[in-house]
Structure 1
């Protein structure tokens, strides 16, 4: 899996307004109603991570989930990160 260029990352980020690129990774922060909702989303995301065999750096403080995505084996951001970001978006912000 090859690392994406800065231009490729910026173009792909246009579809992901919640995400930013810095420190060689994609970053997002999601706020939920309460801890239970946040932890529930993390559990659903964990299943997607396992299915994709790609795992984020993340942390949870009460109702806030902070996520950082980078493909460590490749040394930067790849399409794999955007695929997981898309799955995360569908979980934390379901379409109405």
Structure 2
């Protein structure tokens, strides 16, 4: 199991993740894709990454906007796994033409 990050580590990690914010024991971001099928494609790309990591996000899809929630439930909070997956989501979003969205 991964070690829980402290508040300072979480704050520093979020500085390198534009569009991501902390919500208690979860970090969240929303991305707006050019079209609905682009949003679904983003979810599919991230699903492959998440499966490889054995670390799965909470995902909400609303037309062209995907909202992502990350927390390491078995650790009871935020770990480096969440930060790593957030970076992978941000990279996949950028590669697919999605941009951070206020939600």
Q: TM-score, length-normalised on structure 1?
A: 0.95
Q: Write the deviation string for residues 47-79 of structure 1: whole angstroms up to 9, x where unpaired.
A: 000000000011101100000000001000000
Is 1:40–2:41 an aligned residue pair?
yes
2:76 is paired with a residue of what secondary structure?
Answer: coil
Aligned length: 94
1:93 is paired with a residue of what secondary structure?
Answer: helix
Determine the C-alpha separation between the residues in 2 that align with 1:25 and 1:59: 14
Say which structure, 1 or 2, has more relative contact order (CA 8 Å, 6+ apart). 2
Q: TM-score, length-normalised on structure 2?
A: 0.88
Structure 2 equivalent of residue 64 of structure 1: 65
Give every structure 1 segment of 4 or more consecutive aligned residues whose post-TM-superposition deviation is greater than 3 Å.
none
Structure 1, gaps ≥5 residues long: none
Structure 2, gaps ≥5 residues long: 96-103
- Output the aligned Cα RMSD: 0.7
2:38 is paired with a residue of what secondary structure?
Answer: helix
